[in-house]
Amino acid sequence: MAITYEWRGDFDNAAVNALHAEAFGPSVEGTDWRTRTHRHSLGWVCAREADRLVGFVNVA
């Protein structure tokens, strides 16, 4: 399956929390990544395999 990338792509908090937990151990549940990135970031990149979020990069 191919991975697609999208600048400032739509994402939900649960998907980013799951990625965070996979990379760094248990994540802090309830983190509002959408509000944080929309308020404080220049942008972000979402990587997806089919409909599953498999990567996320924040551009502060």
- pLDDT score for 24: 87
- pLDDT score for 28: 64
pLDDT in tens, 26-58: 766 678 999 999 999 999 999 999 999 999 999
- pLDDT score for 31: 83
Burial 41-57 (b: 16+ CB within 10 A, else e): eeebebbbeeeebeebe
Output the DSSP codes for 17-45. HHHHHHHHSS--TT--HHHHHHHH-SEEE
